[in-house]
Chain A
Amino acid sequence: MIKDTVTEDLLLRKPTFIAFLFATVLVCFLIFDPSQSLIGHLLEPALGDPDTSGLYGRFVTSFMLAVLMVLNLLAISLIPNFRLQVICVWIELLILFLSFFYSFDLSFEFIRSKIWFMVTQGIFTTLYVSAISIVIASFIAIIGAVAKMSSNGFAYAIASFYTSFFRGLPLLMQVYLIYLGFPQIGYVIDAVPAGIIALSLCYGAYMTEIFRAGIMSIDAGQWEGSRALGFKFSLIMRKIILPQSIPLIIPPTGNQFIAMLKDSSLVSVIGVWELMFLARTLGNKTFNHMEMLITAAMLYWMMTMVLELIQSRIERKYQKRQSR
């Protein structure tokens, strides 16, 4: 996006907007009744027991919260540096989420005792299943994309049937079908290969479309220039078209990889010991479900953050190369 050189006034500098914001926040808090919250308990000396302070207590705590929130927003809007502002908002949101989890009264002792196993077994399995699958899916996608653009009826029919089928079925169902279906034709398949096959086939179907769009977006002049030199199809594809479409393909492929990392949790249903499977099973014995689920959630989040970082690095590298 190209920014305009003229900017509008900040909304938070307009008194009417601040008043509107304050009123909205106040109403929300009144509806949710914060008098039993941490703030309500802090106000106990002034208002008395939150259980008995009634509507008055409810209004005063809501009012206090609304004032705090609007002041906080105004304070953040005064930070002149964009980066600093972003970091502040991030930290505040993170604290809000963490305090939400904290309110579950989790047993950190339990988390500490299991987390090493979750990382070594769970994250490791999740990552290698996803990584192998995305590589296979990319190969499928190149072949699928070429077949879908082909004038050969068989190639087009097979490719379009494939993308239609695997995009049309829920991934969970594909996992079951492959794991339980192969034994029906006399071939018993292990859980991990079954999971990898399901993820590869499903994501290969989505990525076929990504690769096709990437290839189609290359100017027709590149094909004509190559053909005029006497290049054959496979040479044009390998040396001229694909190298130019890869910068276009990488951002959506990165997205697919991040999505796959999380969808790999679906293979837990066939007993692959990846992160989600461990999250469901480790806490079972001692009823520490929440602990394990939240730990797994945090681990998934951290993995995707690392991947996003890597993705933006790669994108920047290609942008640099283009602007040389």
Chain B
Amino acid sequence: MSKTNQKVKEPIISIKEMNKYYGDFHALTNIDLEVNIGERIVICGPSGSGKSTLIRCLNRLEAHQSGSVIVNGVELHQHMKDIDKVRSEVGMVFQHFNLFPHMTVLENCTAGPMWVNKVPPVEAHEIAMKYLERVNIPEQADKYPAQLSGGQQQRVAIARSLCMNPKVMLFDEPTSALDPEMVAEVLDTMTDLAQSGMTMIVVTHEMGFAKQVADRVIFMDEGKIIEANEPIAFFENPQSERTKKFLSQVLVH
């Protein structure tokens, strides 16, 4: 694997002592995490463990209540002025794709560059086609999202994020809403992206993907990071009882 390419030890995301509450519910407890440029991180854990909440805090789709979250050198807080700039540099792929149904695939992809980065239309078109080719669906450019399969829609969503030329990509259970036969095409796209050196944080239940691609696997339960390790050590020699139990449940087949 090309995991050994040299990485600059420079955190693009740095979370310190972060806590998040929903009312009285303590959703995330004392999260500490640093993500370096080029690093691929997979977050796993049972449902309700706070994995999605954690990565949604990284572009402030969710607010944290204490501690600090620094993304690309900018600390995220309630009264910040330039959240849109941070968000435009952090790509996010959602479980339910969240494509814009009233716009064609191409328009979905050109919208970000044109409206946020003020790229001229011709250039935005070129960028969009470049990334649609990269996710292998340039021929669908003029269709509407509803005309595509789930796997194709998710690949469009990945292309849409890439068009913004992000510094880091967040994936929030990108294959959970897909029919089984479409999971592979999306994972292949993501693996391809990982090999190109993109910094990625992926919340997923696909343990095969974690083994193959991740530099670090993080296990979360009840809003806490229980264990974080390199994939080989994580899968073959889990330290905590809860990790062992979780792995025995998801790796039975």
Contact = CB atoms under 8 A, between A and B. Distances in A.
Given A228-B61, A243-B102, A324 B160 contact: no
Interface string B87-98: 111111010111
A320 interface: no
Interface string B56-79: 000101000000000000000000
Contacts of B144: 324
Contact of B112 (A224, A229, A321): A229
Contacts, number: 65
Interface residues of A, number: 20
Query: Could you say which of B91, B102, B147, B157 has the most chain A C-beta atoms within 10 Å of its C-beta?
Result: B102
A231 B108 CA distance: 13
Contacts of A222: 98, 100
Contacts of B61: 224, 227-228
A244 interface: yes
A235 interface: yes
Contacts of A243: 102
Contact of B98 (A225, A230, A239): A225
Contacts of B16: none
Contacts of B111: 229, 239
A222 B111 CA distance: 14
Contact of A224 (B98, B147, B160): B98
A221 interface: yes
B153 to A, nearest CB: 12
A285 interface: no
Contacts of A221: 94, 96-98
Given A221-B94, A239-B111, A229 B102 contact: no
Contact of B84 (A225, A230, A240): A230
A138 B84 CA distance: 30
Given A224-B61, A239-B111, A230 B101 contact: no
B116 interface: yes
A235 B88 CA distance: 14
B146 interface: yes
Given A229-B160, A239-B115, A244-B102, A224 B94 contact: yes
A95 B69 CA distance: 75
Interface in B88-127: 88-92, 94, 96-102, 111-112, 115-116
Contact of A230 (B96, B112, B146): B112
A240 B115 contact: no
A324 B146 contact: yes
A225 B100 contact: yes
A240 B94 CA distance: 17
23 contacts: A221-B96, A221-B97, A225-B97, A225-B98, A225-B99, A227-B61, A228-B59, A228-B61, A228-B90, A228-B98, A228-B161, A229-B112, A229-B116, A230-B84, A230-B89, A231-B84, A231-B116, A232-B84, A244-B100, A244-B101, A322-B146, A324-B144, A324-B147
Interface of A: 219, 221-222, 224-232, 235, 239-240, 243-244, 321-322, 324
Kindly list the 10 A-B residue pairs having the minimum CB-CB distance in the complex, ordered from nearest.
Answer: A230-B88, A225-B98, A228-B92, A221-B98, A230-B87, A230-B84, A229-B112, A230-B116, A243-B102, A221-B96
Given A221-B94, A229-B160, A324-B147, 15 more contacts: A219-B98, A224-B98, A225-B97, A225-B98, A225-B99, A226-B100, A227-B87, A228-B59, A228-B91, A228-B92, A230-B112, A231-B115, A243-B102, A244-B102, A324-B144
